[in-house]
Structure 1
């Protein structure tokens, strides 16, 4: 048992989701060394989880509020050779840990991420392009389909060697959700910045995409709307501006160049050929809103 699993939680509104995530970790073909539940500054949820899961390690976020602080808290308390992170609204396939550990056993590998599929509350909207499944935290068209090196993993389905997390300073708490004009922006990219910083500081380090390590990620009805889609794209642009400020635009936008100039044009063309123009329009709008968010973020800094 080499892997410590960390699930970060912040609200009791996701209680059923958290329970499903915990159950999926307990059902693994390769057992976890330990399960750590990290609560983000919510004493009521912390107490409720301690009562419900006495066999788990339930901790309060010891750092700044947010997902990065929670992940750092979990990594610091973990004792496994590896630390795996699972979203609190996701369920891991039974072979999730087995797949991740298989990837970690490859030479030079310090981190890996698995395939994340959307679990739609209703069904995928006809206009929703698979090239933008990242807006709902899932694997998207343009990512590898077989085991392959990648620049960064997706944070809700990831594993790292425990010692490298601390060696490079952990996850940045300067990137995450923010309040802008009274509204919460769904910012992210903590894992992107961390992975780039990791490979910059530890040359020769390899990150892998491992499709056999699958999870399902819940997509609530509120995230199936075009309004959320645009907001998430704009927020991604803002986040990418923060990432490039930290690690430079060369590495910070390396994957995005191929995605923008190859994956998206092909996706827009396919939407027209298959008589699904809504998807083509969504691709154009998504790219425009993401670019606008990036330019706004750069201008602010």
Structure 2
């Protein structure tokens, strides 16, 4: 698998997007790497177009959330391996290479990794370790697979087989995709491949509020008739 495409949704993320693109420009990868940005906002679009690492810039005219933007990016992408990150995230230099190594196993259709906060505050570091690493280590072995949208990759053939991200979901679209991918093969959790992402939502909304929102989302997602993958929650 020598060609890879990174899709980055960016909604009014000018300064943060530049930092993300800088990290993608530093990738150590021996194959063909393509960067596709799906953006809204004139300043964000300009930042995406001006950055030398960007290969394609698409206007997110629908502004219907990350699922729609990511699907739009995949339609324009050409890589056999599809990687996804966000415009407030910084990926390490070996990020693409570390994801790709898992696809040497034909049964692997997806890969996810942990999140770290960009800030050095101890509180955020500890809570991210608990909620964005240890939670995954516990939930994946029992079948509750959750590739985080800012640190995941998918084999293109599997992505197309499951129909991509579900654009009707306001959030948990990455969890939904992960669970549907399990019907196509193995989804791997690589705890050695973290990315650094913004903790602004955690600061603004609080960890307890976010936890309760996601807990309610998981319950609603599992209700019969609401989710195509609700069987995973039985």
**TM-score, normalising length: structure 1:** 0.66
Instruction: Identify if the C-alpha distance between structure 1 residues 46 and 98 changes in structure 2 by more than 3 Å, giving closer, same or farther.
Output: same
Q: Which residue of 2 aligns with 1:173?
A: 167
Q: Which residue of 2 aligns with 1:143?
A: 136
> 5+ residue gaps in structure 1?
134-138, 177-187, 255-301
Q: Which residue of 2 aligns with 1:218?
A: 198
Instruction: Identify if the C-alpha distance between structure 1 residues 60 and 140 changes in structure 2 by more than 3 Å, giving closer, same or farther.
Output: same
Instruction: Find the aligned partners of 2:125 and 2:145 in 1 and give their Cα distance.
Output: 30
Instruction: Find the aligned partners of 2:151 and 2:100 in 1 and give their Cα distance.
Output: 13
Instruction: Identify if the C-alpha distance between structure 1 residues 63 and 164 changes in structure 2 by more than 3 Å, giving closer, same or farther.
Output: farther
Structure 1 residue 231 and structure 2 residue 209: aligned?
Answer: yes
Q: Which residue of 2 aligns with 1:30?
A: 29
Q: Secondary structure at the match of 1:246?
A: coil
Structure 1 residue 5 and structure 2 residue 11: aligned?
Answer: no
Instruction: Identify if the C-alpha distance between structure 1 residues 212 and 45 changes in structure 2 by more than 3 Å, giving closer, same or farther.
Output: same
Instruction: Find the aligned partners of 2:15 and 2:81 in 1 and give their Cα distance.
Output: 27
Q: Secondary structure at the match of 1:6?
A: strand
Structure 1 residue 62 displacement after superposition? 5.8
Contact 1:116–1:215 under 8 Å retained in 2: yes
Q: Which residue of 1 aligns with 2:81?
A: 82
Instruction: Find the aligned partners of 2:146 and 2:43 in 1 and give their Cα distance.
Output: 34
Q: Which residue of 2 aligns with 1:196?
A: 179
Q: Secondary structure at the match of 1:141?
A: helix
Q: Which residue of 2 aligns with 1:163?
A: 157
Contact 2:136–2:146 under 8 Å retained in 1: no
Q: Secondary structure at the match of 2:58?
A: strand
Give the root-mean-square deviation of aligned CA atoms.
Answer: 2.8
Q: Secondary structure at the match of 1:73?
A: helix
Q: Which residue of 2 aligns with 1:263?
A: none
**Runs of 4+ displaced beyond 6 Å:** 147-150
Contact 1:63–1:73 under 8 Å retained in 2: no
Instruction: Find the aligned partners of 2:97 and 2:27 in 1 and give their Cα distance.
Output: 8
Contact 1:112–1:160 under 8 Å retained in 2: yes
Instruction: Find the aligned partners of 1:48 and 1:126 in 2 and give their Cα distance.
Output: 29
Structure 1 residue 248 displacement after superposition? 4.8
Instruction: After superposing the two structures, state which structure 1 stretch, 102-111 or 48-57, moved more.
Output: 48-57
Deviations 1:248-301, CA, capped at 9 Å, x for gaps: 5440x36xxxxxxxxxxxxxxxxxxxxxxxxxxxxxxxxxxxxxxxxxxxxxxx
Higher CA-based Rg:
1
> 5+ residue gaps in structure 2?
none
Instruction: Identify if the C-alpha distance between structure 1 residues 231 and 43 changes in structure 2 by more than 3 Å, giving closer, same or farther.
Output: same
Instruction: Identify if the C-alpha distance between structure 1 residues 162 and 129 changes in structure 2 by more than 3 Å, giving closer, same or farther.
Output: closer
Contact 1:124–1:224 under 8 Å retained in 2: no
Structure 1 residue 246 and structure 2 residue 227: aligned?
Answer: yes
Q: Secondary structure at the match of 2:27?
A: coil
Instruction: Identify if the C-alpha distance between structure 1 residues 242 and 2 changes in structure 2 by more than 3 Å, giving closer, same or farther.
Output: farther
Q: Which residue of 2 aligns with 1:284?
A: none
